Structure 1
Amino acid sequence: MFTLFSLPAFSADKLGSLEGIITDENGKLLQGIAVTLQPDHKKALSDSKGRFKITGLYGGTYKLTVSAVGFDAQTKEIEIEMGKMSTIFIRLKPGNKELNEINVTGIHSNPDNFIDMTRTAMPSKVITRQEIEMMGSRRLDEVLKEQTGLAIVNDIGSGNRAVGLQMQGFDSGYTMIMIDGQPMVGRNNGNFDLSRITVSNIERIEIIKGASSCLFGSEALAGVVNIVTRKNISHPQGLAALRYGSFNMVDATLEGETPFAGKRGSAYLSGNYYRTDGFNSNPYLSDGKTAPPFNSYAFQGRGRYLLSDISTLSFNGRFVTRHSENKIAYQNLNPSMDVLDEYDLNGSLALNDNFRNGLKLKSQYYLTRYQNEQNVTDLESGFIMPGSDFKQYLHRAEMQVSKNMGPLLELTGGAGGAYELLDNTSYRGNKSMANYFLYGQFDFQAAERLSFTGGARFDYHDKYDSKLNPSLGMRYNALKNLTFRAAVGTGFKTPNFQQLYMIFTNVQTGYSVFGAEEFWREIQILQEAGQIMSVFPSAKRIGSLKPERSVSYSGGFAYKPFGALDVDVNVFYNDMKNFINSEQVAFKTSGQQIYSYMNIAKAYTAGAEIGVNYKASKSIHLSAGYQLLYAVDKGVVDSIKNGTGLYEQVYDTDANETRRSKRSDYLGMNNRSRHMANVKISYAHEPSGLTGSFRVNYRSKYGFMEDNRANNFLDPWDKFVKSFFLLNLAVQKTLYNKHLQLQITADNLMNYRDQLMPGQQGRAILCGISWRFFKNE
């Protein structure tokens, strides 16, 4: 890789170039200012002398955009001549001093990760801080559930706190959640509870849809969500905010930032307190909540210091606690108390070197620790039933390197290793895994209108040997307002600790779950104790689990028929092999079930996504999105077509008979909606300081569980969650030169609830007030 970086650059003698100097109003040279040229997506950052240079430009007219926190953004038209150097002098004026940073599409200057999430082979999306604030959202799940192609789902069988993110039909265990480019840990049966993450210090959210293991490793089989926290500090400023509303929700934030040592260094600190009484969506629950009450404290800190003109040292730390107590009482059952404590720690130390020849190097160590303690107490007998109790550690060291190899080629690469340790009372002793990786990505401008983005990652896992995952994407500007794109990428996911080693028995209900590596030993112990009634023939397939593999294909286009309208269309097909499924494989003499894991199925998800954005006026912006999804287990389809196996028969409730299954009887995988849509109207009137948004989200019906004679697949006579709409509203008003902001938020205006959706809250009205501290110019 380093040999590649030393190759001579492509000749650009016949192409044009642009150089410039950026200063403030007083003539002070400004460093780290983002510059972009459209439509070629060329980008640059000013150096310590305020200079920037962009080479390899074809003759013509370009739009130059310059932006920085604390200054008004500038946009100019630049004329480039072939074979000539154009020069420009830019003087930035002081502007908006709010904590949210201006976002410029195509600019990537994130020191935490050199990989540009917006230019990977797979489709991507960026949610800006301004969008988050206009939604009035408080937790990460509230933001993501309103995005096209994403759904927040409940796994009731894993407990009332098991919620996760579904992307393009993949279960939540297949989407990697990252913070500042590093993976987060702490899942319940594969689900990462996004409600434990506050949005108070989020600068933007980057989303990649499709297999991304080529760059990010296991768990990125469905895609990636990267949370980018606050950085790029240029002025002392602060924020105090408080929101209160329905369900006794309190959301309080205090944050501040300042440069120091003549702006060679910067520091940012934030604290957030959040509490809720929870809510109940189940009429049969006489006491307690389906979404439990909790309180949470979150602390975030960042520090950066310029060691020299080329070297920067940075630190990032985050610590979150959450405590929950939920009394539960169902009819004819003893009341119980469910207590949960969580502790989440993330920290990193990084050294960034930006050499004068354009080479960028980053060395980073990252540590995350997640602890979960949960138990359930029978309030009548006082008996404590054990729940989850584990500590999970991830140590990760990584080095990244990036360099422009001339006007046509940019290379990014990295190498490192990760060590994961789990100490869990449900497993026998500590368990650990180690992974070593090497990856690279290139952006190549093959012709004036044609560019390629590709990458590959090599992983060596101490339990699953080595895996190579490549990807390739193409972008073609057919017309000035029409761009076609296509991509193919591979992904993999190694079995997790639970699927391998879990030994768990639910004391309250009696069922057991055994990991594949522990299954036969545990079965033998129960057989010798006379506790096994029968072991199913399918249990013979339980053994050493294989990693799951997927190939993702996507293609689409972006069309701008006129200046105010953008249309984006994407179709996708995700093919999965060695799918790990949990199945009942034995009965106890008490009649309770025993479950384990096996590689049994091939599956695919396919569909299309459409996004439309229309700027109706300077203040009004309309957007809409739609997803069509098919999620199919190939094993079910093959069994039905062949008339053999587990799925050859179906019980037809209408005819009151059992008959041979037909392909039309199979409706796909559970918990996936065929249709999802959203509409958003945003209003922002700068002179009056009034902003707001009205959003409508739709989800069509989806399968929940077997509701007639079990045939192991979703048919028309099973139980479904009905289709529904959610309406949300948020309005903000800024006063006193943007120091004061008042806000009112109304979520789920129609008060929609369903007992099969325990995580869906009823109507929630909140009022908020915030004060920004900054010096008026």
Structure 2
Amino acid sequence: MLKKLIILPLIFLSNILWSQTENLSEKQEQYKDIEQVVVTATRTERKLKDVPVTAQVITSEAIEKSKMANFRDFMEQELAGVEFTNNGGHANINMMGFGGKYVLFLIDGERMAGETFDNIDYNRIDMNNIERVEIVKGASSSLYGSNAIGGVINIITKKLKKPLQISASALYGSNKDQNYNLTFGTKQKWGSAGFSAFYKSRDPYLLTDTEALKQEYTHGNIVEQKLSSTYIAGYTDYGFSPNVSIKITPKIQTEINTGFYFQERNTGGLDGFKVRDQFHNFRTGMKTSFQLRENSNLVVSESYDEYQKFDFYKLLNQKDKNYENKIWRVGSIYDVQLFGKHSLVAGAEAFSEDLFTFMFVSDGSGAKRDAQNYSLFTQQEWKLADAFTLVTGARYDYHSQFKGHPTFRLSGMYKVNKNMTLRGGYSGGFRAPTLKELYTDWFHPYGGGFQIIGNNNMKAEKSNNFNISSDLNFKKLNITLMAQYSKIQDKINANWVSSDTVQYINVGKTDVFSSEVSLSYRLRKSLLLKGAYTYVYENPQKRSITRPHTATVRADYTLDFLKKYAPTISFSGKYFSSMNTFGTADITDVDNTTGIDTHTEEYKIYYEPYSIWRLQLSAPLLFNFTASAGINNLFDYKTKFSSFYSSISPGRTYYIGLKWDLN
């Protein structure tokens, strides 16, 4: 019933919007965003308007306008359905009801090594080197295998387009936020060569409770936790990425990409003074493209990514490795156009992962585990009519622990006319338990102490995803409506199995329903308005850690009467609804008749709604310089108590920046 109550109004609204805008001229130009070439949804190049699978693109222009140095902050502010929480001091994503272990992150189509609390290290990502971010929401395992139950986020790095390109930028803000970027390169007849580097730093800061966190128990008891202070970690990051592309012949081209990243994380206070976390990353990859015929191509690629963590004892100037994750991947993709209308993509991949961590052996001495996966996949686009395209896809994965597993896709795209497109269909998903979930054996020293253990008898998670979307594109107006429903079987959670032991187990079924409405409207040449609203419902609700309602708004106003040096004023905000989280605790009662009684009782914690707003100014100057300034958290919101699912904003902060671009 809930699904009908939400899906039917979306379809009804789509029809109303179409009826009110169908009198617009068919000759009007659509937004240039839908002309973007994307690759993630089909693993071949397609214009966004022609992609038969629901996808979203964030352009480099949007990233540049945001003036954000941190990928986590940018994604949370830009996308209504994305929220980050603070788990153990590390960022933890939630996208449309799916956590980090269900969202596959890629850089130029390659997986990223290293995770903390099921999330990649978002600080690795150089914001200045992003050409676009492509997002496919919903299960995509038929193309990408494990970990793509909730969607795929592919970060496409910039490609050189001119004989000489140089840019440099600096940004300074509150809490000693610093961000410096440098890129340069050249494109010639033989190919191209480029280099990108960044440096970021921020001091740790303290969040102090003004109200107590309250645990409301089933039988009416309320337990208030003591007021406390929580440090939000600071960091020093730097990285660089050289790349080379060589045109061997007119039909053969090779690309080589490498990257190095370093972070030193300061948890703050006395602990941060004594011991720091250090993170090292090295990645490299090579991709060779062969144009076999005018309508067919073959791409052969390989990649390697290594991520390490160290305990750095600052006073002793010594460090100990406690984590190392290595992934290798080799693969090939063949695509061909058939009969001038249909297209076929087929590929094969071999993937291997090694993980070393002190959490694999109970005494903390460290051990190494590994897993391999081999896969074959194909996806076909059948253009059955000028207006209708049918997509079929299948993938077979053979995992060293879980053996064979097939996934499938069946979806379609119908172009009602030049302005309206409908998409929808079914996609399967699966997620093999991670090495951490299989083999962990670690004593957690905090919270009284308890053991966390893995479970190599678990089943792989499976999902069935159904989605529908509607796009309306006109000269001044773009509207997208989307709804999806996912049924997950054999979901894996870390659950208490005794008073002193947490174990990874299959906990059963979970249903996730989400819907999103987004629009972009250019009221006039100088004013652009954008907004989005997302609703998420999970069943069982008591497992959910998702705020059910989120929304974003943005207004960009350019003073175009100043012509070449016209500044742009941007006002944006994001709203997060309230939510409840649930847990259990051992309660001891003393009764004069029965004596001491210890039992487990459920409690809930209420998290208030809040919103974060930003105001910023950007203005072009002489000699290719651009100046910027802004206020983050304009209305100075601060959480009343700091916990896993509350805001980590320190309150109102400021920044100024300067960029020079020779293009």
TM-score bin (small chain): 0.7 to 0.9
Q: Distance in 1 between matches of 2:412 and 2:390?
A: 5
Spell out, residue by residue over 1:385-420, the C-alpha distance to the aligned partner (whole angstroms, 9 max, x if none).
x99811110010011111211331122221120110
- Counterpart Cα distance in 1 of 2:187 and 2:272: 54
- 1:618 offset after TM fit, Å? 1.1
Are positions 1:432 and 2:370 aligned together? yes
Distance, in Å, in 2 between the alignment partners of 1:199 and 1:183 is: 18
* C-alpha contact (below 8 Å) 1:291/1:758 kept by paired residues: no
Alpha-carbon RMSD = 3.0
TM-superposed CA distance for 1:474, in Å, is 1.1
Query: Paired residue for 2:168, among 217, 237, 240?
Result: 240
Question: What is the match of residue 631 of structure 2?
Answer: 746
CA distance in 2 between partners of 1:371 and 1:103 (Å): 38
Matched, 1:570 2:570: no
Quote the offset at 1:709 in angstroms. Answer: 8.1
Alpha-carbon contact 2:336-2:344 (below 8 Å) kept:
yes
The one-letter code of the counterpart of 2:241 is: Q
Q: How does 1:109-148 map to 2 (within 5 A)?
A: 114=44, 118=48, 122-148=53-79
- Residue pair 1:409, 1:443 contacting (<8 A) in 2 also: yes
Q: 2:183 aligns with which of 251, 255, 259?
A: 255
Q: Give the structure with the larger helix fraction.
A: 2
Distance 2:232 2:335 in 1: 45
Of 580, 597, 614 in structure 1, the residue corresponding to residue 504 of structure 2 is 597
Do the aligned partners of 2:516 and 2:535 also contact (CA within 8 Å) in 1? yes
- CA distance in 2 between counterparts of 1:611 and 1:370 reads 37
Distance 1:196 1:307 in 2: 31
The offset of 1:149, in angstroms, is: 4.6
Is the 2:148–2:430 Cα contact (8 Å) retained in structure 1?
yes
Report whether the alignment pairs 1:759 with 2:648: yes
Residue matched to 1:224: 152
The aligned counterpart of 1:671 is: 545
Structure 2 CA distance for partners of 1:124 and 1:238, relative to 1, 3 Å = same
Conserved in 1, the CA contact under 8 Å of 2:544 and 2:581? yes
Counterpart selection for 1:410 from 329, 332, 343: 343
Q: Which amino acid aligns with 2:277?
A: L
Residue 609 of structure 2 aligns to which amino acid in structure 1? Answer: S
Q: Which secondary structure does the structure 1 equivalent of 2:538 belong to?
A: strand
Please tell me whether residue 701 in structure 1 is matched to residue 639 in structure 2: no
What is the correspondence of 1:344-493 to structure 2 with a 5 Å cutoff?
344-374=281-311, 389-428=322-361, 429-493=367-431
CA distance in 2, matches of 1:463, 1:555: 34
* Matched letter for residue 736 of structure 1: L
The equivalences for 1:288-303 within 5 A come to 290-303=231-244
Letter in 2 for 1:410: S
Tell me the CA shift for residue 498 of structure 1: 1.3
Residue 221 of structure 1 aligns to a residue whose secondary structure is coil
Q: Which of 607, 616, 622 is equivalent to 2:529?
A: 622
Q: 1:87-126, aligned counterparts within 5 Å?
A: 105-108=35-38, 114=44, 118=48, 122-126=53-57
1:555 aligns with 2:555: no
Give the conservation status (yes or no) of the 8 Å contact 2:198–2:238: yes
**Aligned match for 2:201, one of 250, 255, 275:** 275
Residues 501-512 of structure 1 mapped to structure 2, 5 A cutoff: 501-512=439-450
Identity of aligned residues (%): 22
C-alpha distance in structure 2 between counterparts of 1:446 and 1:62, whole Å: 26
> If you compute each CA radius of gyration, which structure gives the higher value, 1 or 2?
1
Cα distance change on mapping 1:613 and 1:389 into 2, 3 Å: same
Residue 88 of structure 1 is matched in structure 2 by none
Q: Out of 471, 482, 496, which is 1:584 matched to?
A: 496
Residues 392 and 120 of structure 1, relative CA distance in 2, 3 Å threshold: farther
CA contact (8 A) 2:627 2:658 kept: yes
**Cα gap change, 1:312 to 1:712, in 2 (>3 Å):** farther
Contact 1:624 1:678 in 2 (8 A): yes
CA distance in 1 between partners of 2:335 and 2:621 (Å): 44
Question: Per the alignment, in what secondary structure is the counterpart of residue 554 of structure 1?
Answer: strand
Report the CA distance between 1:702 and its aligned residue: 1.8
CA contact (8 A) 2:529 2:555 kept: yes
2:192 to 242, 260, 266: 266
Partner Cα separation in structure 2 for residue 721 and residue 595 of structure 1: 25
Would you say the 8 A contact 2:308–2:321 is kept in 1? no
Amino acid at match of 1:160: G
Cα 1:320–1:447 change in 2 (3 A) is: same
- Contact map agreement 2:97 2:514 (CA 8 A) in 1: no
Instruction: Give the partner amino acid of 1:732.
Output: S
Q: Secondary structure at the match of 2:127?
A: coil
Deviations 1:86-143 (CA, angstroms, capped at 9, x unpaired): xxxxxxxxxxxxxxxx966253479x95365956664211000000111111111112
CA distance in 1, matches of 2:601, 2:576: 21
**1:488-518 CA distance string (max 9 Å, x none):** 101100001111111111234453343334x
Q: Is the 8 A contact 2:614 2:634 kept in 1?
A: yes
Q: Secondary structure at the match of 1:367?
A: strand
Q: Any stretches of 5+ residues in structure 1 without a counterpart? A: 1-60, 66-74, 76-101, 518-542, 588-592, 634-666
| CA displacement, residues 545-575 of structure 1 (integer Å, 9 cap, x when unaligned) | 1000111111121235x64222211111111
Distance 1:683 1:404, change over 3 A: farther
1:323 and 2:209 matched: no
> d(CA) in 1 for partners of 2:407 and 2:321?
34
Moved more, 270-279 or 760-769: 760-769
| C-alpha distance in structure 1 between counterparts of 2:205 and 2:62, whole Å | 27
Is 1:342 equivalent to 2:271 in the alignment? no
Q: Which moved more, 1:755-764 or 1:550-559?
A: 755-764
Partner SS for 1:192:
coil
User: For 1:302, what is the secondary structure of its paired residue?
Assistant: strand
Determine the C-alpha separation between the residues in 1 that align with 2:511 and 2:53: 17
1:720-773 CA-to-partner distances (Å, cap 9, x unmatched) read 210001101222111226x11001122211122222336334222110011123
Distance 1:740 1:239 in 2: 10
Amino acid at match of 2:580: G
Higher mean displacement: 129-138 or 147-156: 147-156
- The one-letter code sitting in structure 1 at the alignment partner of 2:305 is T
Alignment-derived partner of residue 718 in structure 1: 604
Tell me if structure 2 keeps the 8 A contact 1:276–1:294. Answer: yes
Pick which of 114-123 and 496-505 moved more: 114-123
**In 2, are the aligned partners of 1:287 and 1:327 still within 8 Å (CA)?**
no
CA spacing shift, 1:504–1:121, aligned 2, 3 Å: farther
Deviations 1:16-68 (A, max 9, x none): xxxxxxxxxxxxxxxxxxxxxxxxxxxxxxxxxxxxxxxxxxxxx99999xxx
- Give distance in 1, aligned partners of 2:537 and 2:156: 31
Displacement after TM superposition at 1:695 (Å): 0.9
1:668 to 1:512, Cα distance in 2 relative to 1, 3 A = closer
Correspondent of 1:730 among 602, 605, 616 = 616
Contact 1:214 1:489 in 2 (8 A): yes
Q: 1:764 is matched by which residue type in structure 2?
A: T
Question: Following the alignment from structure 2 to structure 1, what is the Cα–Cα distance between the partners of residues 471 and 393?
Answer: 23
Aligned residues of 2:53 and 2:423 also touching (Cα < 8 A): no
Q: CA deviation at 1:356?
A: 3.7
Q: Return the letter of the residue paired with 1:345.
A: F
